Amino acid sequence: MKLAHLGGVDLEYAVEGVGEPVVLVHAGAVADFFAPLVGPLARSGRFRVVHYHRVGYGGSSRPGTGDADMAEQARQCQALLQQLDVERAHVVGHSSGGLIATQLALDAPEVVGTLALLEPVDLEVPSAAEFGQQVLGPAFQRYAMGTRKKQSTPSCAGSAHPTTAHFSTGSWDRQPSSRR
């Protein structure tokens, strides 16, 4: 893995594959949670996979004062993407990584092409109420009304194993009706 120097914080990262950028934001317990996904996604020829260790993990900086809160970690993720010349990415967050991914989507929506949250924890994000009202509420209403086909977010619907996840616009439409 390489080391990105981001104004006082160093993040250990790797980039694999070519295609649409996908950034993987790991949880608090296992920094290499996404390891089984990286190779298959990168080898697909469709995705440029950015995976990194958050502050406090692997070869990344140890957290200093203010370096480890969710908003700051979202800024660190955005800075890493900027350094890698990634203008817009599919952002995937697992557990507490989902909070960071959500905060990134709120703070820099122009950077987040799609957002996938895997087992997100239920902690308060600084702008959680706004996110719930403006994004989650309408999305759940559309889903309940049966307008699921209009969604264009990454989908793992029907996947038997995480390595078979499909990240593309229209993934929902390609799923057999029995899996929707």
Per DSSP, the residues of 32-56 read TTTHHHHHHHHHTTSEEEEEEEPTT
Which residues in the chain come in under a pLDDT of 70? 65-67, 122-180
Q: What is the reported pLDDT for 155? A: 36
Going by C-beta distance under 8 Å and a sequence separation of 6 or more, which residues neighbour residue 151?
A: 139, 142, 143, 172
Q: What is the reported pLDDT for 153? A: 37
Q: What is the reported pLDDT for 130? A: 67
- Other C-beta atoms lying within 10 Å of the C-beta of residue 28: 16
| CA separation for the pair 133, 128 (Å, rounded) | 9
146 token code pair: 């049966």
Q: What is the reported pLDDT for 150? A: 38
Q: What is the reported pLDDT for 146? A: 58
Identity of residue 162: P
Angle at alpha carbon of residue 61, lines to 31 and 59, rounded to 5° = 50
Domains of the chain plus CATH, in order, are 2-127 (3.40.50.1820)
